[in-house]
Amino acid sequence: MLLIRGGRVVNSQARRADPADVLIAGDTILEIGPPDLASPDDATVIEAQQRLLMPGLVNAHTHSHANLPRSLGDRWTLELHLNGNTAARENLTNEDKYLAAQIGAVDMIRKGCTACYDLIYEFPAPSVDGLNAVAQGYFDAGMRAVVAPMMADGIFYEAVPGLMDVLPEDLRAEIERKPRLKRWQEGLDVARKSLHQWPFDRDRVRVAVAPTIPAHCSDEFLVNAAKLTRDYDIGLHTHLAESKVQAIAGLELYDKTLTAHLEDLGVLGSNFTAAHGVWLDDEDMSRLADSGSMVAHNPASNMRLGSGMARVRHMIDCNLAVGVGTDSRSSSDNLNMFEAMRLASFTSRIQGPDYKRWLTTDEVFAMATVESAKVLGMADRIGTLAPGYKADIVFLDTRNPNYVPLRNVMDQIVNGEDGTGVASVMIGGRMVFEDGHMTTLDYDALVSKIENAVERLSTQGKQSTALANKLEEIVGSFCVGLARTPYHVHRYCGLP
Ligand SMILES: [Zn+2]
């Protein structure tokens, strides 16, 4: 048993943090009560004076494969990102995938995040060993995660109508020569095998499935991926209407919106998460809400890639569950969930003059905890500090300048905290970050292994990088042209 004594437990709905003690049995909260809570004599006491205790933040959308080849392009749209980001991730070994998960876990944990939904790309196809390596990375770091092999039986260049036709012959041939997942059945077989032989505690790390982007996937693949996830009662996650180019391409390819297409295929449902959803129209949001689907909102990535701003207030009006994510370190450069909350709050405020439509800080906090926990399929065990929930607890230092003076706890956590106020982090009753250090791994050793890996990867990726560089100008200008097409939700998205 553990007793956390002398802290103040954040109550986001009441917008207060009152003194309370927390009694923990194993990995679960047993009781939260007034100061001097009775506890067994042999309970280990953790002193939490000058600490705010809040539930660990839950990252609803990220990609560990982008943790090593990170921050590659500056003025990159989503499409330039999809073109240019492939090179460095083609040669990741299983050891690299493990290291990538670990550095991501460190980045998240020390900034107050205790669980994430990781969509993992493996080149050219997913593998049981690769998925296990990522899961092991999170498991050893002490973090909770949903790991989803991200796959498609098509490729980006073919998913943008007309793009392949404008490419010079030699570049097109080079793209066509690249290995790829040829049969969707192979990808789903990997997910099925992993589910049957999963060596990890599913409360800690579990499997989901992620068809990358609808237009990169055949209808048959999408239908069968959805069926598999329903058969095994696991999550299904895809990037949906992230950029205007995707939305326009969807209309050209399917003669209906991407969301309508997924609805017609029977893909939507209570295990389905749509990442981004910047270019959803009102009917799309109703489609998602009516099917019990969820959204992972990634405000930093949406701005970094110039994708636009998701209409989160309208999603909430539709009763859609909306979690918050960081997206990857190559599309939003860090995995700071405090920053993701801050940007979710702020972007809601520049979408219109009616301040009553802006997100409140307690709404944003709920999105990054309770709602993100729903996205991970773990709402009954994480995202809340209450008896019966896992002891995933972030300790904030009230002597940090972020809280001096402590005046409005929700405003200071959601709009003000940048991660520097995190004093320690507990996951499942275990302190994984304390006194500025991870307790679960040797950080210096991790850094030097990553430096070695990245040196090797840059050499191995030279040819692919050269191809991406040659394609960049053509992909960029073609997609800008496509994005000039009028699209009926664009008036909502804050883009010219
Ligand atoms: Zn993503």
pLDDT in tens, 120-161: 999 999 999 999 999 999 999 999 999 999 999 999 999 999
Tell whether the model's pLDDT for residue 13 goes beyond 60.
yes
Q: What's residue 181's pLDDT?
A: 92
Does the global pTM surpass 0.95? yes
- How far apart are the C-alpha atoms of 276 and 496, rounded to whole Å? 19
pLDDT tens track for 266-296: 999 999 999 999 999 999 999 999 999 999 9
Tell whether the model's pLDDT for residue 492 goes beyond 90.
no
Q: What's residue 377's pLDDT?
A: 98
How many Å lie between the centroid of ligand 1 and the Cα of residue 403? 32
How many Å lie between the centroid of ligand 1 and the Cα of residue 147? 13
Tell whether the model's pLDDT for residue 29 goes beyond 80.
yes
How many Å lie between the centroid of ligand 1 and the Cα of residue 275? 7
Assign 409 a pLDDT band (cuts: 50, 70, 90): very high
How many Å lie between the centroid of ligand 1 and the Cα of residue 186? 22
Averaged over 337-344, what is the pLDDT? 98
Task: Give alpha helix (H) positions in 48-177.
Answer: 78-84, 94-109, 128-141, 156-159, 163-166, 169-177
How many Å lie between the centroid of ligand 1 and the Cα of residue 15? 32
Assign 491 a pLDDT band (cuts: 50, 70, 90): very low
Tell whether the model's pLDDT for residue 495 goes beyond 50.
no
How many Å lie between the centroid of ligand 1 and the Cα of residue 295? 12
pLDDT tens track for 384-400: 999 999 999 999 999 99
Instruction: Give exposure, 95-126, as e/b (b: 16+ Cβ within 10 Å).
Output: ebbbbbbbbbbbbbbbbbbbbbbbbbbbbebb
pLDDT tens track for 188-234: 999 999 999 999 999 999 999 999 999 999 999 999 999 999 999 99
Q: What's residue 493's pLDDT?
A: 46
Average pLDDT of the chain to the nearest whole number: 95
- How open is the CA angle 271-275-280, to the nearest 5 degrees? 105
How many Å lie between the centroid of ligand 1 and the Cα of residue 224? 21
How many Å lie between the centroid of ligand 1 and the Cα of residue 330? 10
How many Å lie between the centroid of ligand 1 and the Cα of residue 389? 28
Q: What's residue 488's pLDDT?
A: 67
How many Å lie between the centroid of ligand 1 and the Cα of residue 209? 13
Q: What's residue 489's pLDDT?
A: 60
- How far apart are the C-alpha atoms of 257 and 279, rounded to whole Å? 10
Strand locations in 283-440 (E): 294-297, 321-324, 393-397, 422-427, 430-434, 437-438
Contact (Cβ atoms closer than 8 angstroms) between residue 419 and residue 339:
yes
How many Å lie between the centroid of ligand 1 and the Cα of residue 493? 19
Averaged over 447-460, what is the pLDDT? 94
How many Å lie between the centroid of ligand 1 and the Cα of residue 73? 16
Instruction: Give exposure, 45-82, as e/b (b: 16+ Cβ within 10 Å).
Output: ebebebbbbbbbbbbbbbbbbbbbbbebbeebbbbbbb
Tell whether the model's pLDDT for residue 97 goes beyond 50.
yes
Ion ligand 1 residues within 5 Å by Cβ: 327
How many Å lie between the centroid of ligand 1 and the Cα of residue 66? 10
Averaged over 411-425, what is the pLDDT? 98
How many Å lie between the centroid of ligand 1 and the Cα of residue 62? 6
How many Å lie between the centroid of ligand 1 and the Cα of residue 489? 21
How many Å lie between the centroid of ligand 1 and the Cα of residue 240? 10
Closest CA to 250 of 209, 210, 278, 286: 278
How many Å lie between the centroid of ligand 1 and the Cα of residue 197? 27
